[in-house]
Amino acid sequence: MNVRAFVIGGFVRDLLMNRDNRQDIDIVVLGSGIDFAHQVAGRIEGDTPVKYFRNFGTAMLNVHGWKVEFVGARKESYRLNSRKPVVEDGTLEDDQNRRDFTINAMALDLTVSKFGQLIDPFNGTGDIRQKIIRTPLDPDITFSDDPLRMMRAIRFATQLDFSIEPASYRAISTNAERIAIVSTERITDELNLIIQSKVPSLGFRLLDETGLLGILFPELCELKGSEMIDGKGHKDNFHHTLAVLDNVAAVSDDLWLRWAAILHDIAKPLTKKFIPGTGWTFHTHEYRGSKMIAQIFRKLKLPLNEKMHYVEKLVLLHLRPIVLADDVVTDSAVRRLLFEAGDDIDDLMTLCHADITSKNASKVRRYIANFNIVSQKLKEIEEKDQLRNWQPPVSGEVIMRTFGIPPSRSVGIIKDAITEAILEGEIPNNFEAAYQRMLTEGEKLGLRIVNA
């Protein structure tokens, strides 16, 4: 077609860094990206549908598991109150100028005579060698035009373990308030990518240092600081939270378990209290923290579904295994923990283990030894009593049919009594024992058997 086309952006960066890419290729075309994509699709064997995004002048092909996106080279100009640019046709140079960072502005020529030639006008290869995040043009203009790039700078620095060069770093702090024009969804997408990084605390520290975290997530910033009264102090819960997050990230890729780590102590500022002779307490912070999750998820446009409820549960229960480790580990306490945690018990134990961040080596050894006892006890009770996602052997329907009563408070009282008896080990976890306890509890309530 005598059209000049170039691979550009993240694929080139990852190729030069020998990183596994996400099988996404961006191709910039000197001309119409949509027309070019249509021609390419016609030359590929089999049915290769093209997704057109005419408003953006882009098209995408899915080829053998690869996502290949085509766009015409363009230049952009911005208005002060929007990060959506005015777009015009442009040259390859224009297109590279509009890129966010030098490491994402490199292109590979696809012309036959120049195939594979690297076009690197901003020395992105040098910045890769020096492990630097830097904007191609004036960082103040780059970040003011599209403030989401500030989040992306921190995200790339976190993912790649790069540093942000000083001028770009200062420009983030200078333009932090501009983040207000970016949609919450786009911000949270970047935040989740930071959280999913190998060492997510790197990103949170950068967000905090540049002032973005205080704007986007003030609840987390409120954890900062320690206080001393009468020689008794408490740890800095912000740094503790980041340590717990890194501990979880070292053993699990689960985004929502990582969110539970971030939020597990979120209510400590609300519950902090100094008691003379005792010291600092954060009584009920796990309960109040679990009640804060929905509000935080709603504000950040995170899903208000089972993912949120999972985080609520883990925040609510995160002290329980530690409390057990501090005390005599009874079968009934373990049964209750299994009953309440259900299928999330393993994730809860992961979070609680990650929560041990004390610098006191003897305290850590004691906690871990007791924690291992709790873990073993959980395994034994689970194998014996099978209480994970457990429901009492006698259902509400059986209770109503036996006593000839409608749905009522009495049904709940009897079910709770059966549950308590099993969790306390007073009766075995089977239908016969539960049925007999049901009859006993019904008799206490003055109910008569009408269907034995």
Interhelix angle 285-299/255-263, rounded to 10 degrees, is: 120
pLDDT at residue 398, rounded to an integer:
95
Contacts of 30 by beta carbon, 8 Å cutoff, 6+ apart: 3, 4, 5, 72, 73, 91, 92
What letter represents residue 193's amino acid?
L
| One domain, residues 86 and 189 | no
Give 254's contacts (C-beta < 8 A, 6+ positions apart).
347
pLDDT confidence band for 22 (50 / 70 / 90): low
Residue 390 falls inside a structural domain: no
How high is the pLDDT of residue 17?
94
Which of 76, 110, 128 is the endpoint of a domain?
A: 128
The CATH number for 175's domain is 1.10.110.30
Q: 269 with 351, same domain? A: yes
| CA–CA–CA angle 261, 262, 265 (5° rounding) | 85
The model carries a pTM of 0.87
pLDDT at 232: 80
Q: What are 129's two structure tokens? A: 């060698």
**What is the torsional sign of CA 133, 134, 139, 142?**
negative
HSE-up of 90 (CA within 13 Å, CB side)?
17
**Residues 305, 286 share a domain:** yes
Q: Could you list the residue range(s) of the whole structural domain that residue 149 is in?
A: 131-216
The CATH number of residue 108's host domain is: 3.30.460.10
Res. 291 pLDDT band, cuts 50 70 90? very high
- Co-location of 39 and 114 in the same domain: yes
Q: Which residues have a Cβ under 8 Å from the Cβ of 315 and sit 6 or more positions away? A: 260, 263, 264, 266, 286, 289, 290, 293
In a domain, 81, yes or no: yes
Same domain, 293 and 401: no
One domain, residues 69 and 163: no
Query: Does 232 reside within a domain?
Result: no
Whether 97 and 188 share a structural domain: no
Question: Are residue 124 and residue 170 in the same domain, yes or no?
Answer: no
Mark which of 362, 385, 408 sits at the end of a domain: 385
| 239/322 Cα distance (integer angstroms) | 20
Residues 288 and 354 in one domain: yes
| Calpha distance 131→153 (Å, rounded) | 12
* Rg of the chain taking only CA atoms, in angstroms: 29
Looking at residue 326, what is its pLDDT?
61
Boundary residue ending a domain (71, 97, 128)? 128
Q: Exposed e or buried b for every residue in 357-379, given b needs 16+ CB within 10 A?
A: eeeeeeeeeebeebbeebbebbe
Residue 327: predicted pLDDT: 62
The contacts of residue 381 (CB under 8 Å, 6+ apart) are: 331, 334, 335, 338, 387
Which of 38, 29, 44, 42 has its CA nearest to residue 90? 29
Q: Is the pLDDT of residue 410 over 80?
A: yes
Q: Is there a domain that residue 199 lies in? A: yes
- Tell me whether residue 291 is in a domain: yes
From first CA to last CA, the distance across the chain in angstroms is 85
Residues in the chain: 452
329 and 261 within one domain: yes
pLDDT band (50, 70, 90) for residue 77: low
Query: Is residue 60 in a domain?
Result: yes
97 and 137, same domain (yes or no): no
pLDDT at 426 over 70: yes
CA distance 252 to 250: 6
Range with the poorest average pLDDT among 326-330, 382-386, 397-401 = 326-330
Q: What is the pLDDT at residue 354?
A: 94
| 174 and 186, same domain (yes or no) | yes
> The tokens 């770009």 sit on which residue?
168
Judge whether 226 lies within some domain: no
Tally of domains within the chain: 4
**450 within some domain:** no
User: Does pLDDT of 452 surpass 80?
Assistant: no
Paired with 62 in beta bridges are: 67
